[in-house]
Amino acid sequence: MDSGIIIPEGYPFSGIELEEIISPYLVQKRVEEIGEEISELYQDKVPIIIGVLNGAFLFMADLVRHLHIQFEVDFIKIDSYGNNTKSSGTVRLLKDISADITGRHVIVVEDIVDTGLSLKFLKRRMEEASPKSLRFATFLYKPDVASPEVKIDWVGFNIDDRFVVGYGLDLKQIYRGLPGIYAINEDAKK
Ligand code: 5GP
> What CATH number does residue 134 fall under?
3.40.50.2020
For the entire predicted model, the pTM comes to: 0.94
Q: Is residue 165 part of a domain?
A: yes
pLDDT of residue 112: 97
Instruction: Say how many Å lie between the CA of residue 128 and the centre of ligand 1.
Output: 24
Q: Is residue 100 part of a domain?
A: yes
pLDDT of residue 80: 84
Q: Using CA positions, which residue lies closest to atom 4 of ligand 1?
A: 115
- Using alpha carbons only, give the angle 64, 60, 93 rounded to the nearest 5 degrees: 135
118/140 Cα distance (integer angstroms): 14
**Per-residue pLDDT tens digits for 113-144:** 999 999 999 999 999 999 999 999 999 999 99
Q: Is residue 78 part of a domain?
A: yes
Tell me how many domains the chain contains.
Answer: 1
| Number of the ligand 1 atom closest to the C-alpha atom of 52 | 10
What residues have CB less than 8 Å from 25, skipping those under 6 apart?
none
Q: Is residue 71 part of a domain?
A: yes
Crossing angle between the packed helical segments 24-41 and 57-64, to the nearest 10 degrees: 60
Q: Is residue 1 part of a domain?
A: no
Burial category of 69 from C-beta neighbours within 10 Å (exposed 0-12, middle 13-18, buried 19 and up):
middle
Q: Which of 62, 79, 111, 114 is catalytic?
A: 114
Q: Is residue 33 part of a domain?
A: yes
**Per-residue pLDDT tens digits for 59-116:** 999 999 999 999 999 999 999 866 667 777 889 999 999 999 999 999 999 999 999 9
Mean pLDDT confidence for 162-183: 97
* Domain enclosing residue 136, as ranges: 21-173
Instruction: Say how many Å lie between the CA of residue 53 and the centre of ligand 1.
Output: 11
**119, 139, 157, 169: residue to mutate for ligand 1 pocket, most atoms within 8 A of CB:** 169
Q: Which residues line ligand 1 (CB under 6 A)?
A: 55, 80-81, 87, 110-119, 163-165, 169-170
**81, 152, 160, 178: residue to mutate for ligand 1 pocket, most atoms within 8 A of CB:** 81
49, 72 in Cβ contact below 8 A? yes
Instruction: Say how many Å lie between the CA of residue 137 and the centre of ligand 1.
Output: 14
Mean pLDDT confidence for 27-45: 98
Q: Is residue 96 part of a domain?
A: yes
139/180 Cα distance (integer angstroms): 12
Q: Using CA positions, which residue lies closest to atom 9 of ligand 1?
A: 112
Q: Is residue 186 part of a domain?
A: no
- Which residue(s) pair with 76 in the sheet? 52
At 15, is the secondary structure helix, strand, or coil? coil
Instruction: Say how many Å lie between the CA of residue 114 and the centre of ligand 1.
Output: 5
Q: Per residue in 127-138, is it b (16+ CB within 10 Å) or e — as a string? A: eeeebeebbbbb
**Does the annotation count 114 as an active-site position?**
yes
15, 179 in Cβ contact below 8 A? no
